[in-house]
């Protein structure tokens, strides 16, 4: 994911997208615990771990997980810093 030119040197931009890509590389469904454990393993920054930690319990397909993560990013005002997830 290419960083837009107006984002000042945020190395974390697109990190959540790369995480979701890796998470669904071989799976069609993941549960909340899978996402939590993989986020820790993927060594996401603390702020993104907080976003992942806000996920409600349940089983997720990629579009639903992306919606949940994007909602949390928007609520925190972090979309310019981290980007959004597809």
pLDDT surpasses 90 at 9: no
Spatial CB neighbours of 9, under 8 Å, sequence gap ≥ 6: none
The strand pair at 59-60 and 30-31 is best described as antiparallel
The average pLDDT across 37-57 equals 92
Coil, strand, or helix at residue 26?
coil
- 65 closest CA partner among 75, 76, 54: 54
- pLDDT at 45 > cutoff 60: yes
Residue 8 has pLDDT above 80, yes or no: no
Considering the entire predicted model, what is its pTM?
A: 0.85
Tell me which of 9 and 80 has the higher pLDDT. 80
Give the tokens for residue 38: 């993989």
Q: For residues 38 and 44, give the distance between their C-alpha atoms in angstroms, rounded to a whole number.
A: 9
């Amino acid at each position: 994911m290419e960083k837009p030119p107006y984002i000042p040197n945020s190395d974390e931009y697109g990190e959540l997208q790369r995480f979701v890509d890796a998470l669904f590389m071989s799976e069609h469904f993941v549960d909340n615990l899978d996402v939590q454990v993989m986020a820790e393993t993927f060594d996401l920054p603390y702020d993104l771990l907080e976003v992942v930690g806000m996920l409600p319990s349940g089983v997720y397909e990629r579009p639903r997980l992306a919606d949940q993560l994007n909602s949390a990013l928007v609520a925190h005002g972090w979309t310019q810093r981290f980007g959004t997830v597809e």
